[in-house]
Homo-oligomer: A and B are copies of this chain.
Amino acid sequence: MDLKKVFEPKTMAVVGVSVTNPLNPGTVIFNKNHHEMQVKTIPVNLRGGSIEGKQIYPTVLDIPEEVDLAVIVVRADIVNSVLEDCGKAGIGGAIVISGGFAEMGNSGVELQKELVKIASEYDIALIGPNCMGVYSPPYVDTFFIPSERMLKPPPGNVAILSQSGGFIVDQFLSKYAERKIGVSAAVSIGNKAVVDETILMEYFLKDKRTKTVAMYLEGFRPGEGRRFLDVAAEFGGGKNIIVFRAGKTAGGQKAAMSHTSSIAASPRLASHIFRQYGIVEAENEQEIVSFAKVLSFKNKPIKNGDIAILTVSGGHGVVCADLVAKYGLNLVEFTQEEMREMKQLISPAAARIASLSNPIDLTGSAEDVDMERVLEYLLQIDRVEAVIILTFPYPPTISMQIGRRLSNIAGRYGKPVVAYVPWLLKYDIIIEGFEINNVPVAHTVEEAVQMIKALKMRRPMEQQ
């Protein structure tokens, strides 16, 4: 079975377009791909007719050219006969959007068994049923959401797998877009009757465009967990695997059972195992964003989590110090001599009132050059593994070049530096200034701390 037919199809049939209802999911998918994606899109509906000036074929068997992928958006009880047609037509990939299968119990379970049988008989790489399918730019996008209702992240190296379609669109795509985290592909796996998260993870771990696989999981079915870990171990290599598990509380587990029939392992047990296999577990929904961001930059892992905080806002220093403790990291203690040396580096106005213990607060009297010099000093201290810069363009003496100026310095040392900048359009020049030189900028102070945590968790397996 060939997943390239799903992620990089040249031609695609959309089975279940409507000529009367523009909000019909099949019609939405047809229009999106026809006008916005590279795949050649062919509409299919038993009634025939035409849409957007293109002929609608009654079945996939009537299409006079080779088709790589069929997106099936028809009632559950018709899906299997459509899939059978696909098999006969030699279509190697299928995405079944329709619900009404195993998630319904009873007859739905039977329908799904039949679906699997057909896919297996014709060796079809099948995603779903009961899913949103794939967003794989620039090739194909089967999410049945009109484009004007989505945010799309830039192209990049993070692949997304999710047991929830809504979660992909909202948490992954929107938030990744806001934070400029680039995406190679996103898949909503639905009932994973044929292609499951492990098969997809293996595909992405081998995919040249992908460096990090980020996942939303509610749990595994019996036996799946073992295979998942084996694939992570075998192909994980230089790539990052981030997992966020939902359904960890009693109420959440019950909801997950209704949603994806998933049974979670004991949360603590699973976390322990994940760590052993070099899988970075995100403990909350913010971390799947901050982890993916920092890991999409070039950064070496760190060992102990010993960091320095540099800021011009004392309050943010205090809040960040609390978060450093919460996330199991440590503030390096500076010697009296180090503090004296730092004080000598900065301008008199700042030196008079700055606090040079860790977190370092250069205060609102600081200038760009004060931050530069202290950052450089910190990067030369062996005990400091990484630096968090809490950057505020509030003092008039801090310029809009501050991001570029500090990242120029960070670039000269091999140590990870992450920054927080209040995430406003008007500060975009600062954010760009940091990121152009490989300093990722966090959306919140907490996400900056999470980024350092990810660099500590992401250790090569042999080091553990």
Contact = CB atoms under 8 A, between A and B. Distances in A.
A222 interface: no
Contact of A317 (B100, B132, B255, B315): B255
Contact of A145 (B25, B396, B446): B396
A33 to B, nearest CB: 15
B392 A252 contact: no
9 contacts: A145-B394, A146-B396, A165-B364, A166-B364, A169-B392, A170-B313, A218-B318, A249-B321, A252-B321
B100 A353 contact: yes
B422 A174 contact: yes
Given A28-B396, A146-B396, A254-B357, 11 more contacts: A99-B352, A103-B353, A104-B352, A144-B364, A145-B394, A166-B314, A167-B315, A174-B422, A246-B318, A249-B322, A252-B319
A401 interface: no
A166 B313 contact: yes
Nearest to A315: B164
B322 A252 contact: yes
B392 A170 contact: yes
Contact of A318 (B165, B252, B355): B252
A325 interface: yes
A15 interface: no
A260 interface: yes
A17 to B, nearest CB: 13
A67 B277 CA distance: 69
A240 interface: no
A285 B446 contact: yes
Contact of A396 (B23, B174, B322, B392): B23
Contact of A104 (B144, B247, B353, B426): B353
A151 interface: yes
A315 B103 contact: no
Closest 6 CB pairs of A and B: A164-B315, A166-B313, A259-B314, A167-B315, A249-B325, A252-B322
Contacts of A146: 396
A260 B313 CA distance: 12
A55 interface: no
A100 to B, nearest CB: 6
Nearest to A132: B364
A258 interface: yes
A449 to B, nearest CB: 12
A395 B359 CA distance: 47
Contact of A255 (B174, B321, B394): B321
Interface in A108-130: 130
Nearest to A390: B166
B100 A352 contact: yes
Contact of A315 (B100, B165, B314, B357): B165
B315 A166 contact: yes
Contacts of A166: 311-316, 364, 392, 394
